[in-house]
Structure 1
Amino acid sequence: MSRIPRPVPLPRIAPSLFAEPPYDDERPAADIPAAPPYVQGTLALLCEPEPAEEGPAREPLIWGPPGAIPDERRLRALGQAIAEILSGRRPPSSVSSQLADRTRAELVRSGKIINCARPPLVGTPHISQPKDGVVEMCVLVHCGDRPRVLALRLERRGVQWLCTDFETTP
């Protein structure tokens, strides 16, 4: 003898008071939370500005004090970002503020030249300073069976260091 299935009750649909959330200008100012700074998908290489001391306002320093070369951690982060761009795992726009215009165009034009099954991992940078205001570095990029070398040249433009050239092994 077969059983007759019991009817399943349908979900009850309750009317909503508001079809969409209020616009920002419709809410009181106290309800609007401050938006956090957007850093997802970008490389946060800029230093926080130092607190202003008594006297005239100071310009925020980028990459450290004038005359000093960028520290190894920031150089490695820049090398990692460019290796990820060259492997097609990161958009070039994520480091565009750290690149000179010609270098940015060359990076976009070069496309994916590092083929690897897993994300690339850069080693410790080897840094040299051929002249004042210029830093050259190279990093070993571990990406599968065959590691590659990535070389970068950075030049100081005002208070900011910009990558003016890059080169990698095929």
Structure 2
Amino acid sequence: MSPPRRPAPLPRIAPSPAAEPPYDEDRPTTDIPAMPPYVQGTLALSLEPETPAPPTGRPLIWGPPGAIPDERRLRALAQAVAEILSGRRPPASVSCHLTGRAQAELTRSGKIINSARPPRAGRAHISQPEDGVVEMCAVVDCGDRSRVLALRLERRGVRWLCTEFETTP
């Protein structure tokens, strides 16, 4: 014989929190920084002239005048160009590092590198044939096959700009 069953407990009634947000006078007074105004679908303009902020971080210039660019930055540029040539990055993403002619050529060339996985640029081999000119090449690993990417950079004022690029088909 089974023991007698106890009756099921009745549901308990618990107080619920207030459904409405507190009024301004109900909120605690703390110094909360003011949030900028929320603007949707329009361009927020400030009519007051802005004072230029001091430069922070690294400048866009690649080294002092006469110095060749850092190898890590050259490798990053080669990586970006390889990704553009494989169709994995838009050409406009490196437009600030290319001359107008090189940008147009890069956009016109389209997808040259066909690979199942993203390309990966190897170590950059750098040469300086004359003052103000740097030529570099890097082996780009595309999975099933490797390619070579060559870039020519020239100093224009205080910036290094890519003027030519070439890759194996």
Determine if the TM-score, normalized by the shorter chain, exceeds 0.5. Answer: yes
Match of residue 85 from structure 2: 86
Number of residues of Structure 1 aligned to a counterpart in Structure 2: 122
Q: Identity percentage over the alignment?
A: 75
Match of 1:32 among 31, 36, 60: 36
1:168 corresponds to which residue? 167
Q: What 5-or-longer segments of structure 2 have no aligned partner?
A: 1-19, 22-32, 38-53
> Which residues of structure 1 form unaligned runs of 5+?
1-15, 18-28, 34-47, 52-59
What is the letter of the counterpart of residue 164 of structure 2?
Answer: D
- 1:143 aligns with 142
| Residue of structure 2 in register with 1:102 after alignment | 101
Q: CA separation in 2, counterparts of 1:135 and 1:68?
A: 10
Q: TM-score, normalised by structure 2?
A: 0.67
Secondary structure of the residue aligned to 1:115 is: coil
> Secondary structure of the equivalent of 1:118?
coil
Q: Which residue of 1 aligns with 2:154?
A: 155
CA-to-aligned-CA distance 1:61-108 (integer Å, 9 cap, x gap): 511111100010000000000000000000000000000000000000
Q: Does the 8 A contact of 1:126 with 1:139 survive in 2?
A: yes
Question: What is the letter of the counterpart of residue 152 of structure 1?
Answer: L
How far the C-alpha of 1:145 sits from its partner, in A, is 1.3
Structure 1 residues 107-142: Cα deviation after superposition (integer angstroms, max 9, x where no partner): 000000000101000100000000000000000000
Deviation, 1:30, is: 2.7
Match of 1:12 in 2: none
- Whole-Å separation in 2 of the counterparts to 1:49 and 1:152: 29
Following TM superposition, by how much is the alpha carbon of 1:159 offset from its aligned partner in structure 2, in angstroms? 0.6
Q: Per the alignment, do residues 154 and 49 of structure 1 end up closer, same or farther by CA in structure 2, a change over 3 Å counting?
A: farther
Q: How does 1:103-122 map to 2 (within 5 A)?
A: 103-122=102-121
Matched, 1:69 2:68: yes
Moved over 3 A (4+): 48-51
Aligned CA-pair RMSD? 2.3
Cα separation, partners in 2 of 1:100 and 1:168, compared to 1, 3 Å: same
**Larger Rg, first or second structure (1 or 2):** 2
TM-score (norm 1): 0.67
SS in 2 for 1:125: strand
| Structure 1: distance between partners of 2:65 and 2:56 | 14
